[in-house]
Amino acid sequence: MKRSHVRKFGYIHPPTSKFAADQVSKLAPIPERVVLPLAQHIGKPARLLVEPGDEVRVGERIAEADGFISAHLHASISGVVQPLVTLLSPTSGMPVQGVVIESDGKDQWLEFVPDVDEPFSRKDVIGRIQDAGIVGLGGAAFPTHAKVDRPEGERIHTLLINGAECEPFITSDDRLMIEDSARIVQGARILAELLQVDRIAFCVEENKPLAIAAMRTACDELGLNAEVVSLPSRYPMGAEKTLIHYMLGIEISPGSFPTDVGVVVQNIATAAAIADAVLRGQPMIQRVVTVAGSVRSPSNLIARVGTPACALIAACGGALPGSDRLLFGGPMMGIAQASWNAPTLKSTNCILLLDAPQRIERNCIRCARCIERCPMGLMPQRFVELVKADQTDELDACHLLNCVECGACAYDCPAAIPIVSYIKIGKARVRSLARGGK
């Protein structure tokens, strides 16, 4: 494949630290209680369908999508619904409401209805994806049914299944590809037929040879005409726009989406969840979560959605002394949690414990490493200057909103400037200015 557009800058090579890479995924113990925030996804929070005291079984819908850009929520354990609680969202840090289910210890599952009609009708497939409450599992948590329900006349030529797990420590997608490649291929096939694409490519970095081999074998065995592309191992590779640029040479302008250029990107875990939903009728109730960092035995656990972080850490032998930073996600883009009880979401791929000491912020020395590292071709150094000078209109003119907050700039900043924090402040100001405020 010709890749003359591939740039020699715009990435970093952090230590991969994938210590759980050869740990076979294990079923996590079923927690005594789960907390399921109603806002697990981009869009409106789901509407509650149950009341305190109701008994629910695994897979029962407990909240329904509020509008098209929203997603259903299902009980991930069987038990009794408790009164709603308010907790800090593990993604935004803002107070959100969550459904609590107290386990009855029986783990009774709802009978799922497999789909028997083949070929599936378009409406049926989208309906089943929606019923299963699937959201983008790579981290963005965009409702999947909304992403794949393309308007009449829009042509999607390429489906990229994203197995580029470029964040250090995280191995959940890697393990899923090694252990469950058939499910991923089934999901990809469903998507490809739904979107009528010409080309399917599984994109996996070269530092995951087992996953690449497993995907190739599964494609052969299931007769799916797809490429398995080996990508260079760099960060960020799995970011949607970076991946599309690398794979296809297409640059997506600000405000546009991959579908505008005929491309759909789905995470491999999402593809597997789609297969579960369409072929087996199983909703989104569990996923592989990597527990890594300062834990006794880093592992990959198949955990029910809503399991408290501390329960998963305990299942990995507990935290090592001194670890005081609990993250959901990887070290580059993960979100620090304020509570050991923070529940995993559908999109939580990693629980990471770190004890990295913070460095002191110094003056920018204009070394321009941030500019060289930026995958979006932006000038992070300038954003910091403009945020400090409170020049919000100029920030917008410098395409601040194009930033994907991958953190490559801050990672290699010799002055240890928290560039991403400045950028987040700048984005909030730009958005508030756009809304007419100041």
Interface residues with another protein (CB under 8 A) are 12, 14, 168, 241, 245, 250-254, 256, 260-261, 310, 313-314, 319, 323-327, 331-340, 352, 354, 356, 358-359, 362-369, 371, 374-379, 381-382, 398-399, 402, 405, 407, 410-416, 418, 420-421, 424
- If the CB atoms of residues 124 and 251 are measured against another protein, the closer one turns out to be 251
- If the CB atoms of residues 277 and 313 are measured against another protein, the closer one turns out to be 313
* Helix 209-221, helix 172-179: angle, nearest 10: 40
Q: How far is the CB of 86 from another protein (least distance, A)?
A: 18
Tokens of 203: 């994109």
Q: How far is the CB of 82 from another protein (least distance, A)?
A: 19
- If the CB atoms of residues 22 and 361 are measured against another protein, the closer one turns out to be 361
- If the CB atoms of residues 105 and 377 are measured against another protein, the closer one turns out to be 377
Please return the burial class of 210, using the count of CB atoms within 10 Å of its CB with bins 0-12, 13-18 and 19+: middle
Q: How far is the CB of 79 from another protein (least distance, A)?
A: 20
- If the CB atoms of residues 7 and 106 are measured against another protein, the closer one turns out to be 7
Runs of H (alpha helix) within 132-284: 144-148, 172-179, 181-195, 209-221, 240-248, 268-280
Element (H, E) at 37: strand 33-37
Q: How far is the CB of 175 from another protein (least distance, A)?
A: 22
- If the CB atoms of residues 416 and 434 are measured against another protein, the closer one turns out to be 416
- If the CB atoms of residues 48 and 335 are measured against another protein, the closer one turns out to be 335
How many angstroms separate the CA atoms of 281 and 299, rounded? 28
Tokens of 372: 């060289």
Q: How far is the CB of 83 from another protein (least distance, A)?
A: 22
Q: Residue 32 in contact with residue 102, Cβ under 8 Å? A: yes
Q: How far is the CB of 383 from another protein (least distance, A)?
A: 12
Element (H, E) at 34: strand 33-37
Q: Is the peptide bond before 236 cis (omega within 30 degrees of 0)?
A: yes
Q: How far is the CB of 252 from another protein (least distance, A)?
A: 5
- If the CB atoms of residues 128 and 304 are measured against another protein, the closer one turns out to be 304
- If the CB atoms of residues 43 and 407 are measured against another protein, the closer one turns out to be 407
Q: What is the dihedral of CA 288, 294, 296, 300, to 10 degrees?
A: 10
User: What count of other Cβ atoms lies within 10 Å of the Cβ of residue 209?
Assistant: 11
CA 385 to mean position of chain CA atoms:
31
Q: How far is the CB of 342 from another protein (least distance, A)?
A: 9
Q: How far is the CB of 151 from another protein (least distance, A)?
A: 18
First-to-final CA distance of the chain: 48
Please, what's the b/e burial string for 218-254 (b: 16 or more CB within 10 A of its CB; e: otherwise)?
bbeeeebebebbebebbbbbbbbbbbbbbbbebebee
Please give the DSSP secondary-structure letter assigned to residue 255. Answer: T
